[in-house]
Amino acid sequence: MYASFVGEGGWTSEDMELPSDLGARLPTPTPIYLYHGSDDDEIPFGHVELYARAIPQAVVRRLTGRNHQVNEDLSEVAADIRRRK
């Protein structure tokens, strides 16, 4: 469900790094939503903040008490999809 942030402040990789102007590179009308559970034991919760800074136009959903699989509850995702129609 989540992508780890690879770059300054996140994880390091010899194979890739997100560009510092990631948000500016994305097409303007493209809606971006980020979801991350506070109890994710695989990817640090702080990674969503790194993405939020890299993609300032994104809508960020910080899901309190949710794990890496958001406790198998995609209600926030579904609600966001319904709102976009």
Q: What is the DSSP string of the chain?
A: -----BSTTSB--SS----TTHHHHS-TT---EEEEETT-SSS-THHHHHHHHHSTTSEEEEETT--TTGGG--HHHHHHHHHH-
What per-residue confidence (pLDDT) applies to 2?
61
**Length of the chain, please?**
85
| pLDDT tens, residue by residue, 46-79 | 999 999 999 999 999 999 999 999 999 999 999 9
What per-residue confidence (pLDDT) applies to 30?
87
| pLDDT tens, residue by residue, 18-41 | 887 899 999 988 899 999 999 999
Q: Is the pLDDT of residue 1 over 70?
A: no
What per-residue confidence (pLDDT) applies to 28?
85
